[in-house]
Amino acid sequence: MKQTNHAPQPLWRRRLPGYAAMGAASLVLALGLHGLMNARTTVAGTALALTDADAATYGISAVYRLDENTYYVVGSQKGFQSDVEVGVTLGKDGTVQSVAILAQGETDNLGGQCVNPEFTAQYQGTAPFTLAGKSYTVTDPATGAVYAAAGSAETEAPAEDFDPSAWRAGDTSPEAEATRKMYEAGLTLSALHGEPMDNELIPPMDSSAEAVASRKLYQASLSKSAQDGEEQAKPFADWSAEKQAAYRLEQAELTTSGTGAETSSADLTEVDALTGATITSTAVTNVVNNSYFYVTEVLSAE
C-alpha cells in the first residue's frame, strides 16, 4: 500500500491563526481607545453654534450650555512647547466654576504640572484672573480694553528709584548682566517708558553685542530663561515690519494704543503661576479669561 506523503507546512501558514488573533486584538484595542477619546470629549450639554469670527477672536473651539445658567467653553492657547487645551465651566455671570486641562504637551516637571488640581483649582470664583507677582495684563480680546490689578501701580517702585542691580539679584548669568546694562543705557522699552525693569524685556534694537549674545545664550539653553522654560522676548529687529511700524507710531504718540487712557484698574483674582513655567500658566489664564469675556459679552447678550 502506497504511503501518503505529508509535506511540512510553511512557517507562515502555521502562524496564520496567531496573526489573525493578534489582528483582532489590535482592532478591539483601537476601538476601545477611540471610545475612550470620545468619552473624554463628550459633554453632557447642548452644543451651541460658534461663529468663525468669535472662535478666532476668543480663541475657543466649542461651547455648550449645561443648563439655563451654566456654560462649558473649550479653548486653547500656545504654551511653551505645545498648544494647551482647556475646558472652562462658567456661570452666566462669568463666574468660573471649574477648569480642566484637556490636552497639553508641556515639559513634565514644569508646565506639565498644569494638570494638577492644586493649580487648576485656583481658577474658581470671580474672573478675570491675573498671575500673582508676574507682569500680566488682562486684555478683552474683542474690545481691546486693558485691565490692571487695582493698586498695582502703587506697589511698584518709581522708575527713578529703581536700581538695575536689584533686578533678579540671584541671576548672575551673562544674559541677565547684559539686560541690566541695556536698561542702564536706555535700550529697553521699560527704560524708555520710565518703568522699573520687567521680567519680559523687549529691547527696541538688537545691534548691541549684548543683544546678540543674549539670543545665542538662549538658543544654546545657557540662559536662565531657557533653563526655566520661559520664552525670551524678541529684539526689535526680529519684529515684523507691521509691528515695528506700530511701535514707532506709538513712540511718536501718533496712536492711542498702549496709553494709560485704555487701562482701567480692577479687582482681579490672582493665581500663583507654576514655578518656572510662566508661559504655560499664562496660556491657561488666557483661555479662562477669554472664556469669561465670551460668556459675558456674547452669550449673556443673546
What are the DSSP E strand ranges found in the chain? Answer: 46-47, 60-67, 70-78, 83-91, 96-103, 129-131, 138-139, 146-149, 263-266, 269-271
186 inside domain: no
d(CA 230, CA 218): 10
d(CA 286, CA 96): 13
pLDDT given for residue 6 in this prediction: 57
Dihedral sign of CA atoms 233, 200, 100, 125 in order: negative
Listed as ranges, residues in the chain with pLDDT below 50 are: 28, 32-40, 152-159, 201-205, 256-261
Residue 87 φ/ψ, nearest 5 degrees: -110, 125
3 state DSSP class of 69 = coil
- What's the pLDDT score for residue 35? 43
Q: What is the pLDDT of residue 138?
A: 86
Q: Could you tell me if residue 147 is inside a domain? A: yes
254 falls within a domain: no
Q: For residue 273, is it left (φ>0), alpha (ψ between -120 and 50) or beta?
A: beta
Amino acid at 83: D
3 state DSSP class of 271: strand
For 186-202, what is each residue's pLDDT tens digit?
666 666 666 777 665 44
Q: 66 lies in a domain?
A: yes
CA distance 94 to 125: 9
Exposed (0-12), middle (13-18) or buried (19+): which is 19, by Cβ within 10 Å?
exposed
Q: How many CB atoms lie within 10 A of CB 119?
A: 20
CA pseudo-torsion sign 290, 295, 296, 302: positive
Cα separations in angstroms, 65 against 57, 70, 194:
20, 6, 47
Distances, alpha carbon 59 to alpha carbons 40, 86, 112, 124, 267, in Å: 21, 11, 21, 20, 24
Residue 293 lies in a domain: yes
Q: What is the span of the domain harbouring residue 132?
A: 46-152+276-298
Read off the pLDDT of residues 265-278 as tens digits, 9 standing for 90 and up.
667 889 999 988 88
Question: Is 140 contained in some domain?
Answer: yes
* Count of domains observed in the chain: 1
Question: CB 28: neighbour CB atoms within 10 A?
Answer: 10
Strand 83-91, strand 70-78: pairing: antiparallel
The reply to whether 6 falls in a domain is no
Q: What pLDDT score does 157 carry?
A: 40
Long-range CB contacts (within 8 A, 24+) of 295-301:
295/71, 295/73, 295/90, 295/92, 295/94, 296/93, 296/94, 297/140, 297/142, 298/54, 298/58, 299/48, 299/63, 299/71, 299/92, 300/92, 300/93, 300/94
Q: Does residue 119 belong to any structural domain of this protein?
A: yes
Amino acid 288: pLDDT: 97
